[in-house]
Homo-oligomer: A and B are copies of this chain.
Amino acid sequence: MSSFNAVRVRADIPALTRHINGRPITYLDSGASSLPPRSVIEAMDEYYRLRHANVHRGVYQTANEATDAYEGARAAVAQFLNAPGGAEGVVFTKNCTEAFNLLAKSWGVANLKDGDVVLLSEMEHHANIVPWFQLRESIALDIRFIPVTDDYELDLSNIQELLQGVKLLSLTAMSNVLGTINPVKDLAALAHAHGALVAIDASQSVGHMPTNLVDLDIDFMMFSGHKMLGPTGIGVFWTRPEILATMPPFLGGGGMIADVRTDGYTPATGFTRFEAGTPMIAEAVGLHAAIRYLEGLGLDNVHAHDQSLTVDAISRINHQFSGRVRIIGPTAHAQRGGVLSLDVEGVHPHDIAQVLDEIGVCVRPGHHCAKPLMRRFGLAATARASFGPYSLTLDTDVLLEGLQRAITFFG
């Protein structure tokens, strides 16, 4: 971890200079959205100040520069993921959610039929649930859920049976509620052995640990820029170029066509087919800068940093509030990310978050877009603290101070 220094990262994040209610901000909501470093903000700023133009069809210099910037971002994403087939399989979307809709409504519509099984898990985000329910309105899909154990992990005891007849396993790499990191590579191999394709929701993992698509050997991946130090308004859908080539168009309009007549149209080939309309150019530039920044930190370092903060926070919470504060997520081992869902006996997550706000601590109360998981554990909400590469044990100190206040306040 020699090259990684969270204090130095912190100095790169303008939003961490904020003071809230007289206290420096303690940002513990990176699981919802991360704070971009100066280099990301400045890259977009510079783009708008110098070279903004619409992409792809220009001949003049700034249009070429904008196109190079946009396509350069695509190449950077491919390299960042070590994507088989390179940039050809990278489609830019507005967020991870659109990427899942593209999966369900393009690949899914073309490849799934009545009775086919899609296997999800009980710890999925709504982004990886609702599009499948929507698809079921036209195709009689059998949507199954891998259960979650009382230890907050996938219950794989029945996995062979669950995988019978499965066409697609669509699974999160890391739960945004529990912090659980799932055994993606092993499950992908198992699913492939059953003839299924594998889609991975990397929203929580891609900015926090290394991703290597060649090694994982999966078929689809989707995530958002704003959870990996990048801007809002951009997400990524990745698939193998061979699969992409077979997918029918999704959103229609300019840019995704080869020809349009008054009697019909011919779609373009490759990723172009899936990028209708003027794309998120500045956002791609910002995402590229975020990737550069993360690569500079080293994703291994970021992951180790998350884990050390998490292990420390768990042991301090257990020590200081034993019995009173329950951590909804695995606590016993290192196979988890820096997401801590808290359940404080007798104090509602909203009230926790409110008391924490008073001293500048940002945590998120709610169901975290994972209602099936909340139901599984009989909870309506948790208060979730989550770390970023700029987080310090100092942040945990203030979190604990706030939890103590809330407990005292509500008695």
Contact = CB atoms under 8 A, between A and B. Distances in A.
A177 B263 CA distance: 20
Given A15-B62, A145-B262, A282-B232, A254 B29 contact: no
Chain A residues touching B, range:
35 or more
A406 interface: no
Given A252-B130, A371-B260, A232 B278 contact: yes
Interface string A257-275: 1011110110000000000
Contact of A357 (B59, B129, B249, B353): B59
A306 interface: no
B15 A133 contact: no
A119 to B, nearest CB: 12
Nearest to A251: B101
A249 B382 CA distance: 28
Given A45-B41, A233-B233, A365 B59 contact: yes
Contact of A54 (B32, B254, B256): B32
Contacts of A24: none
A198 interface: no
Interface stretch (A81-89, A120-128, A162-170): A120-128
A336 interface: no
Contacts of A21: 61
Given A45-B45, A94-B233, A265 B129 contact: yes
A385 B145 CA distance: 55
Nearest to A375: B261
A352 to B, nearest CB: 9
A251 B97 contact: yes
A59 B28 CA distance: 12
A303 interface: no
B62 A364 contact: no
B255 A369 contact: yes
B14 A50 contact: yes
Contacts of A340: none
Contacts of A96: 277-278
Interface string A2-29: 0000000000001100101100010101
A36 interface: yes
A126 B262 CA distance: 10
Contacts of A35: 52
Interface in A69-113: 94-98, 100-101, 104
A224 interface: yes
A228 to B, nearest CB: 12
A251 B279 CA distance: 18
A366 B369 CA distance: 44
A395 to B, nearest CB: 13
Contact of A98 (B20, B276, B357): B276
Contacts of A255: 97, 126, 369
Contact of A57 (B49, B280, B366): B366
23 contacts: A18-B62, A29-B54, A32-B54, A33-B52, A33-B54, A33-B278, A41-B48, A45-B45, A48-B231, A54-B364, A61-B360, A94-B233, A95-B278, A97-B251, A98-B251, A101-B253, A104-B252, A127-B276, A130-B260, A130-B265, A131-B251, A224-B278, A233-B280
Interface of A: 14-15, 18, 20-21, 25, 27, 29, 32-33, 35-36, 40-41, 44-45, 48-54, 57-63, 94-98, 100-101, 104, 122, 125-127, 129-131, 133-134, 145, 224, 226, 231-235, 249, 251-257, 259-262, 264-265, 276-283, 350, 353-354, 356-357, 360-366, 369, 371-372, 375
